[in-house]
Amino acid sequence: MEKPWKCADCGKRYKAPSLLEAHRRSHTGERPFTCSQCEKGFTQLSGLRTHERVHTGERPYICVQCGKGFTWPSDLRTHQRIHTGEKPFTCSQCGKGFTWSSDLQTHQRVHTGERPFTCSQCGKGFARSSHLQSHQRVHTGERPYTCSQCGKGFTQSSDLKRHQQFHTGKRLFTCSQCGKGFTQSSDLQRHQRVHTEDRPFSFGNGFRASSQLLRHQQVHK
């Protein structure tokens, strides 16, 4: 199709003068369409209409798999990777794939050793901001994860889940040698020394558990 309308700045052509006029705003910076809620300006009316969904909460793009709604079609396309398993972003170092480019960037710190998030209290660095937030609770004493059974607080959700096994009686860690179950992986590792004869705590003949070594040392005091 013929495109007789040419941009004097970059030479790009358009089939209608209205399209050329809209394009010219990318050069002039003109934003004639303004949001009545926040006064943000846009070069095109379609951009303003899409932006207004931030204020109205409208989510017209619906996932057919789970029914979740999105403001922009690009967000829906990205979300659909959860269902399809598509991982278009691949690490050049180890070949691991990721659904989002941000996850790839975070993963690459494993290879580079980069730790851009630094604790202002002690200077310790972290690869993820979420890890820094969890660490800072060491300094603040905050324990946002509370056990509904006994009210005990924890700094991390994983610690709460581990603690809750005491109330439920679940023994998720099972010895492959004898089938005995344990609520914590550390208890399983300690138990397995019965089968392997491993005695990592040295004092003469060696002991399987640090508590055994401490009890033994009392004899010599």
Q: Quick check: 217 pLDDT over 80?
A: no
Q: In sequence order, which residues have a C-beta less than 8 Å from that of residue 103 and are 6 or more positions away?
A: 89
Do 127 and 95 fall within a single domain? yes
Do 126 and 161 fall within a single domain? no
Do 160 and 216 fall within a single domain? yes
> Are the beta carbons of 33 and 22 closer than 8 angstroms?
no
**DSSP strand E in the chain: where?**
5-6, 13-14, 33-34, 41-42, 61-62, 69-70, 89-90, 97-98, 117-118, 125-126, 145-146, 153-154, 173-174, 181-182
Q: In sequence order, which residues have a C-beta less than 8 Å from that of residue 119 and are 6 or more positions away?
A: 125, 126, 132, 135, 136, 139
| Confidence bin at 177 (pLDDT 50/70/90) | confident
The pLDDT > 90 percentage for the chain reads: 45
Does residue 8 fall inside a structural domain?
no
Do 121 and 154 fall within a single domain? no
- Residue 182's domain spans which residues? 145-220
Do 109 and 127 fall within a single domain? yes
Does residue 33 fall inside a structural domain?
no
Q: Domain holding 174: CATH number?
A: 3.30.160.60
pLDDT in tens, 128-155: 998 999 999 999 999 999 999 899 999 8
Do 133 and 168 fall within a single domain? no
Domain boundary among 140, 164, 183: 140
Could you give the C-alpha distances from 155 to 140, 161, 168, in angstroms and in order? 10, 12, 21
Q: What is the mean pLDDT of residues 179-208?
A: 70
Q: What is the mean pLDDT of residues 59-75?
A: 93
| Confidence bin at 168 (pLDDT 50/70/90) | confident
Domain boundary among 109, 140, 171: 140
Residue 14, strand partner residues: 5
Do 191 and 155 fall within a single domain? yes
Does residue 55 fall inside a structural domain?
no
Q: Quick check: 22 pLDDT over 80?
A: yes
Q: What is the pTM of this model?
A: 0.51
